Structure formats: structure tokens, C-alpha cells
Amino acid sequence: MPIITIVCGIILDLIGSIGFVATGMRSWTALIPSILGTILLLLGIFSLIKPKIRKHLMHVAALVGVVALLGSGMRLVKSLAGGAAASDAALMANGLTAGVALVFLILCVKSFADARRKRLAGSQG
């Protein structure tokens, strides 16, 4: 899971950076995916360095994924419903961020469930 976290962090960093450039470097909010991506990247790296606290770091990473999904998803829905004007770059960035966050969270839940099954199987054997 740490490698997936790092990869998702890099993808979010790219989304934010490209979005910032696409807005003519005027919209600082375009960097929000990069901020979330950098947090995921660091959590992934630290979990490789400190395996004893990996479980806790990956739970924090999942929380960052929830924040990314809710924030970008709500902004995307609001924009598509006509409630807030957004540029094409903002719509694209929000959609990509929500997609990456959703895939990341699905993988987190699967990983957490697999780890729990493995732990329970080990305690019964």
C-alpha cells in the first residue's frame, strides 16, 4: 500500500501543477491537489522508512483520500449543477482528483480488509 500511496501522491501533484499552469498561474486553489498529493507522497515514504507505524500512516493516508474525494467531488458536482462557475481546467482537475481519490480509497479498503483477514486467520491457526 505504501507504493500505491506514493504513486497516487505523485499523480495528484501532477494534476495540481498542470492545473496551476493551465490557469495561467493565477489560481492558487489549483494547487490543492498538489498539497494533498504531497501529503500522500510523504505518508507513503515515511511508511516505508518506519514499518512499525505503517498501519497508522496508511490510515492517515486513507483519511487524506477521503478529504480529497469529498472536496473535489463536491466542487465538481456543484460546478456541473450550475451552482458555481468553473473553468474547463478546474472541472478537469476536480474530476481527475476525485477519480484518483476514489481509486485510492477503494484500494485502501481492500488492503485494510485483506490485512484484517490475514490477522484473523493467523490468530486462529
Predicted confidence (pLDDT) per residue in 53-112, tens digit: 999 999 999 999 999 999 998 988 888 787 666 677 788 888 999 999 999 999 999 999
Instruction: Give the torsion sign (CA, 87, 93, 95, 98).
Output: negative
List the grid coordinates of 116: 484484517
The answer to whether the predicted template modeling score (pTM) of the entire model surpasses 0.75 is: yes
At residue 37, what are phi and psi to the nearest 5 degrees? Answer: -65, -40
Cβ-Cβ contacts under 8 Å for 5 (sequence gap 6 or more): 40, 41, 43, 44, 47, 58, 61, 104
For the chain, give every domain's residue range.
2-124
Give residue-wise pLDDT tens across range 16-51. Answer: 999 888 888 787 888 999 999 999 999 999 999 999
